[in-house]
Structure 1
């Protein structure tokens, strides 16, 4: 299906033309039919050969209903601009065309209606020139009379050529801007809109802006017929399960879960009025939403918009700024950043303007990483920047230069920590996370590379991270000729081996602690087993003490350690055997 907006003229002639094309009544309201004026959005469709099914969103022409017109045009890829031959170009037609230009609509058709009442030539040439100066460019033009039926065959053929020339819908997640919401007895709340991309299916779980909770699709209709699934571009009606009518209104959106940022702060490029001349307050039109916005100029054509409420926007979205007081379209807007940085420091705004000058609204993973340093996969997808390649840790992507700087800083922080706390076996991961300003410990772990090592939740330099002074003191504490003679407490104190130092030596694997202030070299238990294996089995404590050339102060806890580790086996008479 293709969807075309019909815009341009104020009176009932435009709706008459749609009715003649489709055989359907686009004006739903009795007041519209009574006044001969489109007030709200109307919908109709027909089948072209060639061209297939085409749906029309009939938008109001009167200047008082421009916000409604924009709600219908926003998600639609093509427009049929209708101008009456007997009235020509009208002020509201100018604003409609300015809106289409601001939104960057590039596919259209000019229809000069009521050709039975006046020569269509002057209007056709004048309006075609105006359209050619916009994003629509040179468009095909057709003169018709819906009443007399002249030109209708040619119009259908021109519409067929228009829709056949439309590009395929973009590969994007579902974002259905709601342009109408109502209740059907026995079914509940139904919303309608133009699905620009993606696929909707019965049973889908979606996010509904403003609801604060997931919602589920109970049923779908497309062109008045129930369907199990529908792909954009298409006009759809969605029956929502468990959603009250007052929870949804025009301007809300149904979203693919986890694929959009709901933002009230965006940096944009403005295509239209000079940014310096924009008023401080305007209205942002995005899809069917109209949101008050505060404007902060940043560069020659870039600005920051503070929105009155959060809306689902992505990098590259084309939306519109309008001054409702002057009935003036200030310009189109390309969204450059939906999660912009705060501007708190002196000079930050000027620096931001320089950054924005190099951004074009095209999804750029390398650029986003360069500007942000680290970004989670989910956040990239929500911003509209498809992640590519391998993350550095978990779901985190990193700018290569930023990652390299973090690795250098990690080495510096590990070194500084070792200087401040030489007896600890490295810097704790959590302390390093805080020092580097990283959001997760997994990132610190991923940064560790030789010569740094990660052991037991700590990062150190080299294989052990043990201070050389501690190694030297331990070596002096023991007599190589008597490896099982534990140094006395006073000797340990003389060497600077207090409680903290001994604890560090134990953690580093330099010594084994048998009891309070009773330590031996780390390999002493293994060597003791070799000595004891040479005794007549079983052996007594005294025999073991003499063989090891040590004191009872050492022998008792040493044998107890060997018993616990299974190296020796203690018998009922307190003698032992080597296992």
Structure 2
């Protein structure tokens, strides 16, 4: 099976809908008002099925100048344009605007149909053909077939069908290898089924019972059913017109412009970097101008930040950032249209280069945007991962960032890893230049820490991670391949660092041991020791921690330390006690050590946590692990 989308284009009342009906037998005007007024107001849909398995879905768009926004909603997924020009009127204003839009959207293929051929003489028809040839010169329709037809008499309808078939076979189909993405163009409810959305699948595939997300609203749902061209299907593919029956979602939660996607791949954005091209007859666009931004079925208001000029003249081209007033779902490689904020007319369009853009400093330059525009997929991915800094990117994020097959992205990233350009930590990719810089900064941070804290065995791992803003798994991965650092439980140190044990420290250690020995099971706290020796609490803490590391003292709490000899004596007293009795109260423990309740409670909590005693209600038993 092969699926192609054809879109009509042309001025109001030039016979687009009548031609679609003549081609398919289906009237695309579905609204009551459309039938009463005889004009297309919103998008209409039909299809042609060919014997060889080709299905051409047709999107019929309105032609009135006030309805161009509806036309744009239908133009996003089009592969082929059927430009309709009435023989009795020739080229008209919306003929020009629609063709300009299709050109900006980089549509490659099309046909021109001169409708209402039954209303004019042959010599007039020849004049219209000449006018059309001049009109399409320099556009993608130059050299395209021009077929005069009559929806009323059936003139050349079969010939037009054959031409559509011929061109469709030359069109490169949309990729079913990427993550699924379907911009919504209609939302409605069906009795007995619930909420249904329709659209053109731009990439990937979708099956019944698959989970989906609807962005940018972060709505989660499941596929209850699928239809394409009125036929129930179990699986939908890129290029098809698809109706998706969603589970557990109300119609009021959805709107045209939202996008049904495969979960965990895509992220809405409020800023895109792009290359913008102005139409030849457009007004001058000044930096920071507000515009209407159209991307597939999405419309949003945004502001254009020009990167390399202060204004963009008619026919001009520039890199820019479009900052949007509401989030949209965009993918690098998507085409867009901008319309003047007021009066609303089409003025330009272009291609999204970075769908997850951030504010750019002038000194950064524009080299990355040139790579996104002209580079290979490998160059684009390497550049984007590098621009993502220490946070890097996951494969899933890359799949939702750029318009490419998942398998192709995986192949490219594997090659970049083999070449040493990207470094992988768990599921996250970081550019080697960023990793090397990160490695050097971590080492420098630890070096400064050791210089300022010579008695500390290392820096807190969590403090170091937070300082660099790394995710836990990425941080663990970075440390694991840094030969120059050593991780010791909750601390990190340089491999060549040793605690600087000075004569002053040895003297202080002896004084602390002497004082703790005098106090026994009522030792002074860390704060009291600091005050006694005239030191800062932080400095005293470093001394006690180092003494604990050497085995001179045992840490009971962050503030209380026992001399190692007293600690061992406490354990011996416990063994003797439990040899005679099965349980011990807090008071009995206090009396056993000859201490006070102030110390007995933290001692017991320490013993409980170290599996020496076992609390049962208000008493303690000996822990089985200690009893052995």
**Normalised by the shorter chain, which TM-score bucket?**
0.7 to 0.9
Distance apart, 1:86 and its partner CA:
1.9
Residue 244 (structure 2) pairs with residue 238 (structure 1): yes
- The match for 2:113 is 111
1:45 Cα deviation after fit:
1.3
What residue number does 2:50 align with?
48
Q: Which runs of 5+ in 1 are unaligned?
A: 478-486, 520-563, 565-579
**Which whole-Å deviations, capped at 9, do the CAs of 1:399-458 have from their partners, x for residues lacking one?**
111111111122211111111111111112122224434344742662352332111222
In structure 1, C-alpha distance between the alignment counterparts of 2:553 and 2:288, rounded to whole Å: 76
1:458 equivalent in alignment to 2:523: no
Contact 1:105 1:136 in 2 (8 A): no
Give me the whole-angstrom Cα distance separating, in 2, the residues matched to 1:49 and 1:11.
32
Give how far 1:308 is off: 2.5
Shift of 1:156: 1.4
Does 1:177 pair with 2:183? yes
Of residues 273, 292, 309, the one that matches 2:301 is 292
Aligned mates of 1:341, 1:32 — CA distance in 2: 43
Q: Which moved more, 1:89-98 or 1:307-316?
A: 307-316
Determine the structure 1 residue equivalent to 2:254.
Answer: 248
Which whole-Å deviations, capped at 9, do the CAs of 1:95-122 have from their partners, x for residues lacking one?
A: 0001101111111111112222233323
**Structure 1 CA distance for aligned equivalents of residues 256 and 47 of structure 2:** 22
Q: Does 1:338 align with 2:355?
A: yes
Question: Which of the residues 26, 38, 48 maps onto 2:40?
Answer: 38
SS in 2 for 1:369: helix
Q: Kindly tell me: are residues 513 and 99 of structure 1, through their superposed partners in 2, closer, same or farther at Cα, counting changes over 3 Å?
A: closer
Cα distance change on mapping 1:469 and 1:277 into 2, 3 Å? same
* Equivalent residue, structure 2, for 1:283: 292
Residues 106-185 of structure 1: pairs in structure 2 closer than 5 A: 106-118=108-120, 119=122, 120-170=125-175, 171-185=177-191
Task: State whether structure 2 residue 386 is matched by structure 1 residue 370.
Answer: yes
Q: Which 5+ residue runs of structure 2 have no aligned equivalent?
A: 310-317, 404-408, 418-422, 518-528, 530-534, 556-560, 566-609, 611-628
Instruction: Identify the match of residue 440 of structure 2 among 401, 408, 413.
Output: 408
Q: 3-state SS of the aligned residue for 1:109?
A: strand
Which stretch shows the higher mean deviation, 139-148 or 17-26?
A: 139-148
Question: Larger radius of gyration, structure 1 or 2?
Answer: 1
The structure-2 alpha-carbon separation of the partners of 1:13 and 1:422, relative to structure 1 and needing over 3 Å to count, comes to same
Distance in 1, Cα, partners of 2:214 & 2:554: 63
Cα distance in 2, alignment partners of residues 126 and 198 from structure 1:
41
SS of equivalent to 1:423? coil
> Does 1:202 find its partner at 2:208?
yes
Aligned equivalents of 1:106 and 1:366: distance in 2? 29
Could you say what the CA RMSD is over the residues aligned between the two structures, in angstroms? Answer: 3.6
Q: Please name the residue that 2:229 is paired with.
A: 223
Contact 1:38 1:59 in 2 (8 A): yes
Higher helix share: 2
Contact 1:464 1:508 (8 Å CA) reproduced: no
Partner of 1:91: 93
1:54-65 pair list within 5 angstroms: 54-65=56-67
